[in-house]
């Protein structure tokens, strides 16, 4: 019982040590080394950590390490030794890093302060320096709150080091002690510069006005240089003029940069005027030059100088370019001339000459350049005409006839040689020949397209399966007919053209060929349609037996047709197949035979209709279909409703050794009427159907 009570009290006593476990857990959770290197701690965070863990260490050290409870002695010295290192490492790590952190921040802040002081205390001599000073003063003034915050952070870090006896190297401490006066000096300098700002604005505004005025006079001087008459005289050497213009360009570039800078300076200074005191503003505007020049006037003058300078440079560059191009074109082999590039070059130079005429004062260079360009431009249509790729040998013969001499277009023949022939005298005739060559070439292209079209146009064949054979037939002729129509229209257009003469024989040949093809194709389509219609009729033995003469005629046509289609299968080109010798005549003969067959078939059907008039209610196709199956009594069943007004079906009883018997007629309403006289199904269809009709009448009368 004593042990049990003692253990209960020991358990209660050990609960007091849980607070130290929480302290150790807190230390481990912080991961102090990693935390300090990964992010920047604020002074408050550093102070809180130091305060907390120094307190933890004191509490652990004051821990009761030996205590007796009845018969049990509780020892916690080892526990204390295990807790202290975790807490000590937090404090020691902060002690290690704090001086470095504080020193780094102090150095960075001092660098900013010292750099700012150097800029603020710099003597201002030029307007550019003053503008830079103004911009920096505005920046540093806005930056003061953040600098004060950083200053506070540094002082707090060093205060923490002092409060917790953290060792700071003497050199670093001395550097920190210089921070306070430096920062105070910076704020004083800012205030001083702010106080002097109005006076400086007044002084440098007047100085900038003077600089702008001087710049204007410099531009006037350069403008006079640009207007130097030497630059518009034909006697001036191109190299001399270009050198003068290049020198002036360099001067203008310098003045242009000055003008841009002065405009920027003026904008920066004027931006500060609203913040000036009213008395300072009055002083600023109290002094003004009688001949004060604003930047707008300078910009206008600069634009005018650049415009006139550009025109003069363009003048000499264009003249040099024209001389180079003309020389190049004159010595280029005629067959290698790129007329597109020549036309572009002439158009561009013509526009340039027009612009120079409008922008430059009267001079003797522009008219000379204009005359040279215009003279060449007048020859250009003839040059383009003679470089027409459609010109053939016959056209060159005509051109040579115009000149009255032969033109040797060998490797040495240049554009210069051509112009020596005085081609302008024959401009219209040459242009007409070139235009004719172009039109003739377009007609030849159309003719070539037609020929290529028919060389690649094949009949679209499909297999036709019958009971006795398989033969290829034309699937569709629609595409072929459409192409034929287009080609005939194109040929008609070609024949009506005044430029068709060089290919007249070819056009006439293809006109005849396509006309012949059209006739053959018409007969071909007609023959195929007839053959497909009659083939299924004359394949049936009953029809062959009843129409022997027509059957023999069809056999001849069938043989001819299959021969034609076998040849077509081997050579499916539509034009070649249709224009082969003898094909048209064979097709015409076959179609004539088909007409005879059709007439014989119609006579045969008329006889059947005379014997049994009710066959007149059937179409020829339906009647043929029925007659072709005359041995099958049920073959008449589908056509009864047309032959008789309301008979839908015949009750035909098959007999094993004798003809079938028609015993009953059945209406569409399924009404059944037994015949008084049974009809035997024998002989021709029309005969036994006549018997059914007669028996029907007798039955109804009865």
Looking at residue 290, its pLDDT comes to 40
Looking at residue 282, its pLDDT comes to 65
> Where does the pLDDT of residue 247 fall: very low under 50, low under 70, confident under 90, or very high at 90 and above?
very high
pLDDT tens profile 62-72: 888 888 887 78
Residue among 462, 667, 445, 430 at smallest CA distance from 565: 462
Looking at residue 665, its pLDDT comes to 77
pLDDT of residue 508 exceeding 80, the answer is: yes
Looking at residue 123, its pLDDT comes to 84
Higher pLDDT pick, 691 / 585 = 585
Helix (H) or strand (E) holding 617: none
Mean pLDDT of the region 376-398 = 86
Contact 199, 280 (CB under 8 A): yes
The proportion of the chain whose per-residue pLDDT surpasses 90, expressed as a percent, equals: 27
pLDDT tens profile 18-48: 888 888 898 888 888 778 878 888 888 888 8
The Cα 609–Cα 602 span in angstroms is 10
Looking at residue 645, its pLDDT comes to 75
Looking at residue 291, its pLDDT comes to 44
- What integer best gives the mean pLDDT of the chain? 85
Mean pLDDT of the region 270-275 = 67
pLDDT of residue 318 exceeding 90, the answer is: yes
Higher pLDDT pick, 48 / 615 = 48
The Cα 166–Cα 688 span in angstroms is 138
> Where does the pLDDT of residue 630 fall: very low under 50, low under 70, confident under 90, or very high at 90 and above?
low
> Where does the pLDDT of residue 289 fall: very low under 50, low under 70, confident under 90, or very high at 90 and above?
very low
pLDDT of residue 286 exceeding 70, the answer is: no
Higher pLDDT pick, 425 / 365 = 365
Looking at residue 327, its pLDDT comes to 93
Looking at residue 507, its pLDDT comes to 92
pLDDT of residue 258 exceeding 80, the answer is: yes
pLDDT tens profile 406-420: 776 667 788 887 787
pLDDT of residue 292 exceeding 60, the answer is: no
> Where does the pLDDT of residue 388 fall: very low under 50, low under 70, confident under 90, or very high at 90 and above?
confident
The Cα 632–Cα 418 span in angstroms is 94
Would the pTM count as exceeding 0.85?
A: no
Looking at residue 510, its pLDDT comes to 93
Looking at residue 275, its pLDDT comes to 66
Residues 6+ apart with CB under 8 A from 210: 289
pLDDT of residue 277 exceeding 70, the answer is: no
> Where does the pLDDT of residue 526 fall: very low under 50, low under 70, confident under 90, or very high at 90 and above?
very high
Q: Which residues pair with 667 in a beta bridge?
A: 647
By mean pLDDT, which of 54-58, 258-262, 506-510, 695-699 is the weakest? Answer: 695-699
Dihedral over Cα of 581, 583, 586, 592: its sign: negative
By mean pLDDT, which of 94-108, 345-359, 603-617 is the weakest? Answer: 603-617
By mean pLDDT, which of 259-273, 288-302, 362-376 is the weakest? Answer: 288-302
pLDDT of residue 300 exceeding 50, the answer is: yes
Looking at residue 636, its pLDDT comes to 75
Token pair belonging to 434: 């070139």
Residue 361, SS3? coil
Residue among 358, 326, 349, 320 at smallest CA distance from 242: 320
Looking at residue 200, its pLDDT comes to 76
The Cα 60–Cα 650 span in angstroms is 124
> Where does the pLDDT of residue 346 fall: very low under 50, low under 70, confident under 90, or very high at 90 and above?
very high
Looking at residue 351, its pLDDT comes to 95
Mean pLDDT of the region 645-656 = 74
Counts for the chain of helices (H) and strands (E), in that order: 25, 7
Mean pLDDT of the region 525-542 = 84
Question: CA 697 from chain center: how many Å?
Answer: 85
Mean pLDDT of the region 485-496 = 91
Q: Is 262 exposed, middle or buried (0-12, 13-18, 19+ CB in 10 A)?
A: buried
The Cα 25–Cα 668 span in angstroms is 105
Mean pLDDT of the region 369-380 = 91
Contact 168, 99 (CB under 8 A): yes
Phi, psi of 189 (to 5 degrees): -65, -40
Residue 72, SS3? strand
> Where does the pLDDT of residue 366 fall: very low under 50, low under 70, confident under 90, or very high at 90 and above?
very high
Residue with tokens 């002084």: 203
Phi, psi of 656 (to 5 degrees): -70, -40
> Please, what's the b/e burial string for 477-496 (b: 16 or more CB within 10 A of its CB; e: otherwise)?
beebeebbeebbebbeebee
> Where does the pLDDT of residue 603 fall: very low under 50, low under 70, confident under 90, or very high at 90 and above?
confident
By mean pLDDT, which of 129-138, 578-587, 638-647 is the weakest? Answer: 638-647
pLDDT of residue 597 exceeding 50, the answer is: yes
Looking at residue 94, its pLDDT comes to 86
Question: CA 144 from chain center: how many Å?
Answer: 54
pLDDT of residue 254 exceeding 50, the answer is: yes
Helix (H) or strand (E) holding 165: none
pLDDT of residue 539 exceeding 70, the answer is: yes
Mean pLDDT of the region 553-568 = 91
pLDDT of residue 615 exceeding 50, the answer is: yes
């Amino acid at each position: 019982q004593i042990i049990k009570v003692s253990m209960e009290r020991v358990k209660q006593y050990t609960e007091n040590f849980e607070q130290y476990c929480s302290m150790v857990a807190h230390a481990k959770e912080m991961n102090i080394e990693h935390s300090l290197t990964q992010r920047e701690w604020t002074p408050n965070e550093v102070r809180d950590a130091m305060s907390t863990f120094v307190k933890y260490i004191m509490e652990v050290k004051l821990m009761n390490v030996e205590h007796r409870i009845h018969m049990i002695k509780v020892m916690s010295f080892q526990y204390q030794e295990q807790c202290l290192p975790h807490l000590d490492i937090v404090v020691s790590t902060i002690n290690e890093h704090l001086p470095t952190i504080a020193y780094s921040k102090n150095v960075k802040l001092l660098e900013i302060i010292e750099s700012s002081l150097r800029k603020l205390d710099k003597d201002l001599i030029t307007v550019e320096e003053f503008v830079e000073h103004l911009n920096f003063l505005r920046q540093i003034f806005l930056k003061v709150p953040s600098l004060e915050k950083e200053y506070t952070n540094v002082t707090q870090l060093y205060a923490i080091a002092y409060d917790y006896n953290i060792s700071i190297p003497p050199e670093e401490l001395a550097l920190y002690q210089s921070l306070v006066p430096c920062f105070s000096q910076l704020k004083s300098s800012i205030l001083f510069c702010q106080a002097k700002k109005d006076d400086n604005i007044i002084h440098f505004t007047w100085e900038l006005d003077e600089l702008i005025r001087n710049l204007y006079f410099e531009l006037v001087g350069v403008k006079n240089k640009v207007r130097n008459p030497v630059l518009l005289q034909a006697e001036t050497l191109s190299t001399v003029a270009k050198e003068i213009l290049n020198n002036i360009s360099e001067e203008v570039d310098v003045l242009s940069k000055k003008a841009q800078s002065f405009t920027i300076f003026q904008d920066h200074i004027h931006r500060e005027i609203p913040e000036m005191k009213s008395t300072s503003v009055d002083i600023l505007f109290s002094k003004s030059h009688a001949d004060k020049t604003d930047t707008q006037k300078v910009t206008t003058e600069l634009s005018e100088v650049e415009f006139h300078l550009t025109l003069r440079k363009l003048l000499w560059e264009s003249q040099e370019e024209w001389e180079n191009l003309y020389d190049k074109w004159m010595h280029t082999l005629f067959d290698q001339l790129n007329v597109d590039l020549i036309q572009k070059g002439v158009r561009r130079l013509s526009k340039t000459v027009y612009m120079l005429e409008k922008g430059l004062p009267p001079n003797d260079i522009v008219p000379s350049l204009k005359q040279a360009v215009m003279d060449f431009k007048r020859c250009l249509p003839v040059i383009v005409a003679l470089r027409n790729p459609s010109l053939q040998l016959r056209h060159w013969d005509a051109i040579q006839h115009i000149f009255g001499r032969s033109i040797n277009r060998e490797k040495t023949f240049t554009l210069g040689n051509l112009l020596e022939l005085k081609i302008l005298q024959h401009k219209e005739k040459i242009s007409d020949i070139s235009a004719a060559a172009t039109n003739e070439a377009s007609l030849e292209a159309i003719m070539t397209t037609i020929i290529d079209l028919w060389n690649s146009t094949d009949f679209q064949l499909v297999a036709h399966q019958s009971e006795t054979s398989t033969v290829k037939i034309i699937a569709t002729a629609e595409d072929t007919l459409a192409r034929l129509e287009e080609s005939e229209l194109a040929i008609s257009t070609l024949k009506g053209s005044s430029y068709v003469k060089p290919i007249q024989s070819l056009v006439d040949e293809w006109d005849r060929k396509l006309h012949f093809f059209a006739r053959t194709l018409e007969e071909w389509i007609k023959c195929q349609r007839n053959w497909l219609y009659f083939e299924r009729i004359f394949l049936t033995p009953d029809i062959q037996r009843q129409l022997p003469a027509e059957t023999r005629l069809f056999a001849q046509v069938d043989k001819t047709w299959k021969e034609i289609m076998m040849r077509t299968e081997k050579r499916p080109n539509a034009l070649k197949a249709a224009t082969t010798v003898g094909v048209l005549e064979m097709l015409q003969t076959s179609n004539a035979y088909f007409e005879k067959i059709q007439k014989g078939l119609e006579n045969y059907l008329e006889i059947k209709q005379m014997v049994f008039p009710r066959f007149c209610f059937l179409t020829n196709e339906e009647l043929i279909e029925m007659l072709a199956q005359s041995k099958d009594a049920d073959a008449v069943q589908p056509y009864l409703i047309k032959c008789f007004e309301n008979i839908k079906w015949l009750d035909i009883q098959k007999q094993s050794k004798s003809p079938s018997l028609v015993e009953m007629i059945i209406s569409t309403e399924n009404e059944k009427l037994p015949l008084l006289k049974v009809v035997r199904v024998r002989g021709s269809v029309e005969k036994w159907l006549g018997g059914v009709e007669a028996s029907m009448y007798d039955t109804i009368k009865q």
